[in-house]
Structure formats: C-alpha cells, structure tokens
Amino acid sequence: MKRVLMLIVAGLLAWIILSYAGARYASHPNLVDLPEPNHFFDFPAEEITLQTSDNVQIAGWHIKGDSSKAVVLTNGIRGNRRGLVERAKLYQEIGFGVLLIDLRGTGESEAQPISYGWHERHDIHAATDFLQKKGYTRIGAHGISLGAAATIYGLQEKPNYTYVILESCYGSVRDALNNRLEMKHIPRFSTMFMRKFSEWHLGVTMQELRPTDYIKSAQMPVLIIAGDSEQRVKKSETEALHTNCGSSNKSLHYIKGAKHVDLLNHSPESYHEIFYDFLDETD
C-alpha cells in the first residue's frame, strides 16, 4: 500500500508540474525580427511604436490613406504583421489608412504572456487612439483568430468602431481547448490543473474568456467569416457568435473547404467578394 501511495503521489506531482509547464508554454511569447516594410510594400509604410494603457510597447506599420477611413489589422496567436500584408494591400487599394500591429508577445512588440486576446485588447485600443490622432474619423477593426477575440473583448471599452470584421474567432477559450484535445484524443480532465495555472498566470478566468458574451455589446456592422471545415473552432461556436452579436447589421459567411487557415490565401475569389460587399454596405 505504501508503494502504491507513493506512486499515486508521484503521479499527481508529475501531473501538476507538467500542467504548470504547459500553462506557461501555451502563453509564452513568440518574438521575431521582421524585415523593413519596403520588403512587403511598394508604397510608403511608416514604422511606429505604440504605448498601451497598461504600459506595453507595441510595434506596427502605418500606411497613410487618402480618406477619413482607416482600419486596425491584428493577427492570430503567435502571428505577426507579416501575415496581415495582403489584407493591408486590399485596404490600401480602396484608399483606407491601415495600421498593422504585432499584438503583445508577438513579432517585434514587447515580450508579454499571450492571454488569448484579453490583455491584447489594450493593444488594439492604442492602435485606435493612434489613428484618431492622425485625423481618421471612420475606423474599423479587422481581427483574425486571437486578434478577432481581442477586438471583441475591447468592445467593452471602445464600442464605437465604424465596422468590425472577425475571422476564425473562437467562441470561448474552454471550447477552443476542448476542440484541440478532441483532435488529439486527449481526455478533457487532463488539463484541469493547466487551466487553473493559466488563470493565475494571466490574471483572467476561463469563464471570462468568452467572446460570445462580449459580442452582445456590438452595435456597429459586423462581418463574421470562418471555414466550413473548421476543427479548432466548430460551426456551433461561430454561429453562437453571430446569434449573440448585438448588431442589427451582422452577417456570417463560410469559406468552402477551409479549416483554421488564412482564409484570404485559401480562397481569394470568395474572400474578395465577401470583403468588398461588406465594405460597400458600410460605406
């Protein structure tokens, strides 16, 4: 019995240690040096650094527009501005000012734990403030995956975007984690300690990390786009986002055959049609 008890204690201790390590790994920063903006664009792009309200340094590229319209572009988990270049070009072609930012803990921004969009919302606020100071009066927010969730969380403080575009956004962090466990055939209970360590490390509970709750405050036009073959974000989550969205002007579109991938790169023609139709309606 003593040996069995020792094995149980050792197993529990190993579970706790691995859970702590897993929580820290899941939120660890992914910083990379990026080329100069002229490597990506054949038009001027200004390198900028923003200071958030919670004193985090955020790196970005600003492309000057020729109208009062502008957009903040944000990427998914551990992504950076590089993944936003083609979308920036779409906006630049129709006269928008564009601000592409590296969310905290990614790209060339300050090393901070990745909080699945919760604290990253302050990065988007700083970007919005920058564009307002530049004189833009019609500002949209366009986020991908984690960037989309951060945009939604930010609506509690800044609900006055001209429009919002959300790509491949999770419904809740709990669902996002469970979907990944299901894909790998790992039992859900195995992450019990990891979830608690993550809450302690990030300063936000799993119950709070629910974009489906915060999207209720959206009053501006909202476009939700997702792949119809998603496994990391199930259709039921995407449809819950659309259902719970408080806007009277909301639309949901699926990209055929797409999983949790770059939807523009996957299906350019379908993406362009959805994108331009939505912007035409909000003009």
Give a yes or no: residue 84 inside a domain.
yes
pLDDT at 181: 78
The two structure tokens encoding residue 266: 């996957």
Give a yes or no: residue 15 inside a domain.
no
Give a yes or no: residue 20 inside a domain.
no
Averaged pLDDT, 192-217: 91
| Domain span at 84 | 32-187+204-282
Give a yes or no: residue 4 inside a domain.
no
pLDDT band at 185 (very low <50, low <70, confident <90, very high): confident
Give a yes or no: residue 11 inside a domain.
no
Give a yes or no: residue 40 inside a domain.
yes
Give a yes or no: residue 81 inside a domain.
yes
Helices (H), 142-261: 146-154, 173-183, 192-202, 211-214, 235-244
CATH number at residue 211: 3.40.50.1820
The answer to whether 172 touches 212, Cβ cutoff 8 Å, is yes
Averaged pLDDT, 199-217: 93
pTM, two decimal places: 0.94
Give a yes or no: residue 2 inside a domain.
no
Domain count, the chain: 1
Instruction: Give yes or no for residue 121 having a pLDDT over 90.
Output: yes
Q: What percent of the chain shows pLDDT beyond 90? A: 77
> Using CA atoms, how far apart are residues 124 and 38, in angstroms rounded to an integer?
24
> Using CA atoms, how far apart are residues 169 and 78, in angstroms rounded to an integer?
15
Averaged pLDDT, 85-97: 97
Q: What is the mean pLDDT of the chain?
A: 93
Instruction: Give yes or no for residue 256 having a pLDDT over 80.
Output: yes
